[in-house]
């Protein structure tokens, strides 16, 4: 099991081929670089590692039928988690509320999704970036208190309809990187990737969970029905790899360090057209 030190950088990695997760890879199938410099992999783990996942549910008015679909399949979806995995539930609209902190009580998590559908009363509006930042801060705290849970993820259900006030995507990514947490997203309704355009008011930026997922090493999928996407996404989140390497010195506190994870030439020959997803980088400790 992974034990991090201040000099270690941890990366959660997904490998896809033809849209399906690739299993059975080993440390020798990967090459990692930090700032363009190749680094030796000091730790490698696979999907048997404990997973901590926070479900972050958009409860704005347009989301009710998708929340009902998700609640209907919650027991089946979360039943794929292992005995050492933990799950929590939070909801958001204009604000964010945690209904269940990370817990091994899967049945309670499924019940809390039903609560989100029936009983949650939140202010009108949608603030995606603020919600992700708040949950990332909880995951960072959990990383300190529960270091044995070495893989952390947020799974957000949303229609991607939000304007973020003075909270850019880069700020959100900084929070995710600092928490060693991947963002995954199920995007429903009219939610699509929105083209980047200059805003008349730079204080407001449109939601882009597709970018947040990609840059944190996660996956965002468009779904017509949440009850079909939810079990599939949980299964895909279980089939991932973890690696760690020693951070190269010297580092300037607060500087951004780019990470690149690739398959070795031999692995690429075995797996043509495979995609590797990993976080874009990290910020050096301050």
pLDDT tens-digit series, residues 22-64: 999 999 999 999 999 999 999 999 877 889 999 999 998 888 8
Give which of 136, 145, 151 is closest to 12, Cα–Cα.
151
Q: Which residue has the higher pLDDT, 56 or 94?
A: 56
**Verdict on whether the full-model pTM lies above 0.85:** yes
Which residues make Cβ contacts (< 8 Å) with residue 262, sequence separation at least 6? Answer: 30, 31, 32, 276
Q: Most distant CA pair in the chain: distance in Å?
A: 54
Q: What is the per-residue pLDDT for 250?
A: 84
The DSSP line for 28-49 is: GGEEEEETTEEE-EEEEE-TTS
Of 2-16, 18-32, 48-62, 153-167, the least confident: 2-16
Q: What is the per-residue pLDDT for 185?
A: 97
Classify domain 51-238 by CATH number.
Answer: 3.40.50.410
Of the pLDDT bands very low, low, confident and very high (cuts 50, 70, 90), residue 146 is confident
- Tokens representing 173 are 């990514």
């Amino acid at each position: 099991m992974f034990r991090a030190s201040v000099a270690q950088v941890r990366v959660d990695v997904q490998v896809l081929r033809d849209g399906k997760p690739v299993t059975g890879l080993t440390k020798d199938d990967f090459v990692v670089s930090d700032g363009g410099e190749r680094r030796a992999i000091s730790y490698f783990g696979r999907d048997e590692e404990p997973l901590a996942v926070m479900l972050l549910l958009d409860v704005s008015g347009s989301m009710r039928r998708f929340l009902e679909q998700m609640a209907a399949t919650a027991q089946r979806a979360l039943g794929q988690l292992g005995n050492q995995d933990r799950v929590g539930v939070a909801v958001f609209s204009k604000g964010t509320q945690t209904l269940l902190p990370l817990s091994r009580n899967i049945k309670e998590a499924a019940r809390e999704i039903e609560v989100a559908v029936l009983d949650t009363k939140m202010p009108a509006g949608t603030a995606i970036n603020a919600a992700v930042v708040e949950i990332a801060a909880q995951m960072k705290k959990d990383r300190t208190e529960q270091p044995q849970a070495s893989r952390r993820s947020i799974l957000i259900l949303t229609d991607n309809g939000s304007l973020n006030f003075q909270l850019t995507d880069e700020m959100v990514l900084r929070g995710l990187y600092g928490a060693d947490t991947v963002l995954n997203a199920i995007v429903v309704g009219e939610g699509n990737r929105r083209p980047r355009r200059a805003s008349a008011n730079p204080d407001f930026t449109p939601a882009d969970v597709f970018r947040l997922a990609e840059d944190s090493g996660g996956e965002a999928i468009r779904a017509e029905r949440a009850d079909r996407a939810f079990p599939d996404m949980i299964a895909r989140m279980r089939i991932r790899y973890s690696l760690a390497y020693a951070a190269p010195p010297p580092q300037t506190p607060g500087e951004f360090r780019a990470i690149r994870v690739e398959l070795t030439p031999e692995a690429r020959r075995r797996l043509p057209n495979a995609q590797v997803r990993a976080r874009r980088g990290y910020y050096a400790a301050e």
